[in-house]
Amino acid sequence: MTSLHNIDDMFKRLTALENEKRVSECMQRYMSLCDNLGPGFKLETLMQLFTEDAVWEGKGKRYAKTFGQHVGIDAIENMFAKYTQEPGHFSLNVHVLGNEVISVDGNTAKGSWMLLQPSDFIDGRSQLSCAHITAQFKISGRVCQISHFKTENKFSRPISEPWDNSAALPVPK
């Protein structure tokens, strides 16, 4: 017979696993929305992923200077609003996350990821960037929100050819 103690333990473990999945889904949603930032983008969808008192910051010598720190949902929204203005900034932007590590402690969680970001810009330039992402989350019921987001550049490299090339894809004959 299973004791109530074991059932409580299993319930806590199941809740932690579900919350870990919520964190992962929240970060994936964030990156997917950032892939689509451009003129006409509705920032409300992105802002729903942040707590009211959230902090978003660039870390390290390159990103601290480029992005800075933004405290509170209004400041974060103002930072992202620059990417929704005409004529736009990106013609292609892809956030690829890997090396996910998430730890859950009750209704809070921490996560880290490595990000590769190939980008083509409206002005014709292209770049490959890599960053280490760390974030803290608050979980309330089924809702997971970012409370502190940090991105630190590991490298950035201009690319001479656009990532998105119209040449036919090679396939075997």
19 within a domain of the structure (yes/no):
yes
Q: Is residue 78 in a domain? A: yes
| Domain at 77, CATH number | 3.10.450.50
Token couple for 52: 């009211």
84-140 tens-digit pLDDT: 999 999 999 999 999 999 999 999 999 999 999 999 999 999 999 999 999 999 999
Give a yes or no: residue 164 inside a domain: no
Query: Per DSSP, which regions of 29-172 are E strands?
Result: 50-59, 69-71, 90-93, 96-105, 108-121, 126-140, 143-159
d(CA 50, CA 135): 11
pLDDT in tens, 28-80: 999 999 999 999 999 999 999 999 999 999 999 999 999 999 999 999 999 99
Instruction: Please state, rounded to an integer, the average pLDDT across all residues of the chain.
Output: 94
Residue 141 lies in a domain: yes
Q: Which domain holds residue 89?
A: 4-159
- Percentage, residues of the chain above pLDDT 90: 82
Closest CA to 124 of 166, 167, 163: 163
Domain-embedded: residue 57: yes
Considering the domain boundaries, does residue 152 fall inside one?
A: yes
Residue 2 clears pLDDT 60, i.e. is over it: no
Q: Into how many domains does the chain fold?
A: 1
Question: What is the band of 168 on the pLDDT scale with cuts at 50, 70, 90?
Answer: confident
133 occurs within a structural domain: yes
Any idea how long the chain is?
173
Asked if residue 29 belongs to a domain, the reply is yes
